[in-house]
């Protein structure tokens, strides 16, 4: 299976709003799938409203040939 390539300039697409949870899931999956390392941190959660803040941090794999067919 070939993963779509994502580069640093594609990260801006994640911030576009409004977006559906499904669309955001796909965008985040692409970023994580093209990362060498990743981690998540829950910065805050409001028990009264259900609002949360999660921060993702990682390193994109910038190797040009990683997802190309041999």
The residue written with tokens 């990260």 in the block is: 11
Cβ proximity of 27 and 14 under 8 Å: yes
Domain ranges of the chain: 8-60
Q: Which helix (H) or strand (E) holds 32?
A: helix 21-33
pLDDT digits (tens, 9 = 90+) for 8-21: 777 887 877 677 88
pLDDT digits (tens, 9 = 90+) for 14-66: 877 677 888 888 889 988 988 999 999 999 999 999 999 999 999 988 876 55
Q: How many helices (H) and strands (E) does the chain have?
A: 2, 2
């Amino acid at each position: 299976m070939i993963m779509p390539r994502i580069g640093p300039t594609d990260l801006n697409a994640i911030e576009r709003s409004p977006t559906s949870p499904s669309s955001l899931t796909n965008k985040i999956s692409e970023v994580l799938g093209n990362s060498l390392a990743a981690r998540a941190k829950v910065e805050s959660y409001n028990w009264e409203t259900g609002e949360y803040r999660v921060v993702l941090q990682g390193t994109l794999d910038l190797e040009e040939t990683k997802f190309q067919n041999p």
